A and B are shown apart, each in its own frame.
Chain A
Amino acid sequence: AQTVTQSQPEMSVQEAETVTLSCTYDTSESDYYLFWYKQPPSRQMILVIRQEAYKQQNATENRFSVNFQKAAKSFSLKISDSQLGDAAMYFCAFIGYSGGGADGLTFGKGTHLIIQP
């Protein structure tokens, strides 16, 4: 079974600055996907960014980018130019190919991101 660990229960950053959220995972699978989801106070789960494990290039989506270190099993999220709307819970998630992904997403416990105006 895989596990996902987010070691920062809460992070705070000044508006317009950059913040990095940490995520590590443990798995015996070689093929898998990693995701970051955002959950604002509205409760909606919103996909921020995805990374396929077979891709060496780090994924980027506008102000959001990841640092994927497969050997270290690390998958951090960098948010540049932080905005007030980025305030939310951020969840790191994993899904493996074996079993066809029937196990669904395995989530970390989340990091609560606070944006200081």
Chain B
Amino acid sequence: DTAVSQTPKYLVTQMGNDKSIKCEQNLGHDTMYWYKQDSKKFLKIMFSYNNKELIINETVPNRFSPKSPDKAHLNLHINSLELGDSAVYFCASSQVMGHTEAFFGQGTRLTVV
């Protein structure tokens, strides 16, 4: 069973479109995250969710919005996509925020054309 799963794995879309990436974890973890990996492989946190509450929102454009229907899911919605949004987006979860390792999904490669 996949611990943290993301869909889709690949997403190609045109500028201006709105898209969503889904994430689910079956580990029973309390905390979920979204990370962005740019073309130089640099990983940076975008959002943290603890028990469905947004804990931190890094300086990301408000075109990006995380939505959590329940503790096991954290979806990422992106409006008005721009070329610069092209990247790999990772969902992750951890059992206890700040005290345990994060388990990552397989990533979603988003390409905006």
Contacts and interface: CB of A to CB of B under 8 A. Distances in A.
A102 interface: yes
Interface of A: 33, 35, 37, 39, 42-47, 50, 89, 91, 95-97, 99-107, 109-110
Contacts of A43: 88, 106-107, 109
Nearest to A37: B104
Contact of B107 (A35, A44, A101): A44
A43 B88 CA distance: 9
Contacts of B94: 101
A99 B98 contact: yes
A109 to B, nearest CB: 6
Contact of A89 (B41, B97, B98): B41
Interface residues of B, number: 29
Given A43-B107, A44-B106, A47-B101, A104 B90 contact: no
B41 A97 contact: no
A102 B43 contact: no
Given A102-B97, A109-B40, A44 B104 contact: yes
Contact of B55 (A37, A46, A100): A100
Contacts of A42: 106
B99 A103 contact: no
Contacts of A99: 98
30 contacts: A33-B98, A33-B100, A43-B106, A43-B109, A45-B92, A45-B107, A46-B104, A47-B103, A50-B101, A89-B41, A91-B43, A96-B98, A100-B50, A100-B97, A102-B48, A102-B50, A102-B56, A102-B98, A103-B45, A103-B48, A103-B56, A104-B35, A104-B45, A104-B56, A105-B33, A105-B35, A106-B45, A107-B44, A109-B41, A109-B42
